[in-house]
Chains A and B, each alone.
Chain A
């Protein structure tokens, strides 16, 4: 981290090794916790980091953070999730604002992810289409920031201790205390800032189930905030801030609207319930005009951040499980009963997600709706205009549901750690020979290096070597031992795939420097994806993707993926 070392202390808050867990009655988990505690304590000692744990796992993450607040002394507190690796210039980019802005309590930075979320992975859009979170971090938070309403997202942010003391740390009634704390501080007159530069690299949930679980928690938490804090009427907030918080919380009511959108055509097609008293022509005229204008507005406002129809897809995917969650939160705000937990995180096999069954059922129902359309048009020709328009509506739903089938059909990923493409000059040392080369990509566990020289005696699988490069920060050591796992040739030279043999903490620093230190590579990757596909092309692309994914999903349902090709490598974060 590029910051005066004497002004910075790093704390590792470990909730996996609390006393409660170490003394757990379950012998296996107790042992696991104790080992973890020991290992981490050693690592921390080696790296010069303070290790902190607590007695009991109270209040999950908030309690953990509060514990950290109690034990630390700094004026400013930077919070990172365990899987979020900050770049070198994180503090340099954010700390300065605390002296220029008055009453600042938060500087928030975007969450950038080096791996695709389950939707992107299963659809294969990670390298071409902007991520879903970019809409929030790239557009919405910027907008909220204009009105001084950007809120704390749980990680990748700096907060002011004085402010946190006013609220007794991170406290609240909801399961998303980060937003709740920010809301409270805003209402006390504190200000927040958002820096629109990706300065951390994190990991998305691996499986679809964990993805849904995460969203479900966010949704329930926001509902609890709405219920307990009710931002529109909260004292102390400015009018614009009320609107902003209202927007942030009410957004999570989308499952209701999406549900109605799904059900309405079926009400007519199956049960002849006419919800709209309009002729087919009127209905078509109003809705098609509205949709066209809507698509055009969306394209104009954020066409580069969100492609057409993707919002509908994400909404639909989340609705299936978020609707029961929301209902349970509304019914019982303090203790919602509906929880989504991911049981199987094994991603080595391509299979339908454990949460995938409802999607196939809904797809089947919508398909029946199409059949009902045909039957109705044949049997009641005098109502044909209404039936056809409703059938078209149902067809739109069907296309989205078909695409969702592909989303829940999980592709296997081979790699446990995710690659980041870098292009750093380096030197490969084996024995006493040295070869110039370039590190092409690197992950936490290994790297791919291209060597300029074609051959080197002794270079074969299993050989040991050393990687030497110039680190970006001041590090005592700049050599990293590695083991060659794979060799191949292409027209540019020799490619070797290596596994790092990390022994000392210095090696960890080197790896971090290699992979995560440069924040520009994140920006470049995002900018590369910021392409506006346009309404027409976007719609056609979505349509073709949906058809393909429907087929793929049905294939997974029937178990045909076992006859498919070999598992492709996970997509990687590329440099520009």
Chain B
């Protein structure tokens, strides 16, 4: 029996006329608005546009049309994903007020399937961070403890799903930006294979690493969202023309147990995890997978300790190039009172970018600059090849890799802000999937002594999202970690009757 508030249950009820899309959207807008002053999860809540869209869906239903598998499902969209006419800022002052002339392919596909965008969610500026404290607007907070961060960079999307402001959200993941906040907020987050989901309309951070994916409360809702957004798009040259499986149907048809599933446990991921609570929860989850019939064996990813250095060189190099477009000429912030164009560009960029973005542009510009390119950029690209090779070799021996998503649970605001390297360190187990281009899911697998969620990361072979989702789905049918909700969500949840 599906959770009443799951995306698939909402869509079923809307399609069968049990509730109107308008009532569903109203209930979620109420929840999003109520939580906003405390969590800052949204950059904007698009109440008017969402209500208008819900009205259209209800009219279509009244005419006997079927709006699609996401009929009336509210969705929150990370604010680095373009929404036509709806302000999209990437949480940067340099894009304040920017209204994109087009929507991202993922947004078009979700809307075509009947989903309703209820707002844009907060992030670390341009996706650069692991706490959403680098937002140029305001930080977001963790629904489990408002003194703590929701993770990042897609912290707003994770927090929104956590409190039930929306059953689904979109994020983007360059080095862990979907999985790490999913872990810290206790929700399910999927980074698909590089090329599985179109990046057209995603504000680029590091183009060879960026990938859009869903946040949900469980694997089945994540599968429902993936089914809507996956597949080739001629507007993104890196988009793969590979067959797309019906992920939700496959999960529903799959046996409850995991007989035949081969699970690999990278020993470096547990060895490098110093938090006893996190390690214990992951070990207990592995025991559950074994109880479900999966075979578990240790594997080795010896390059794990070098992932962050490799990632920092490549991602900042690409960022320095991608962010060159913000120069005050065509759109975005322009500095006042400058005498010539070079001064105008430098002043606009210096006023518009935050400290972390400047740090990354500087490192990226340096590693690409004449004389240093071979020693830094090219070396990192060679190491990236080795990391990809090592990851794929491990995935030749097993179907999925399992370990902690984040070495720590949600940390306090400010705790890692003054020393950027301590912030980068929390991506230790997530950057590998981006560097190798493979899919990975984070799902809740327990809580630490303070009740803060712990995430289990499940990594699969390229275009085998289904393997990771199957493991998570079986785990979620056998346990209830994913059903645990913070008091904030319970306190704010409108009564069920108000929907219908």
A and B associate:
no
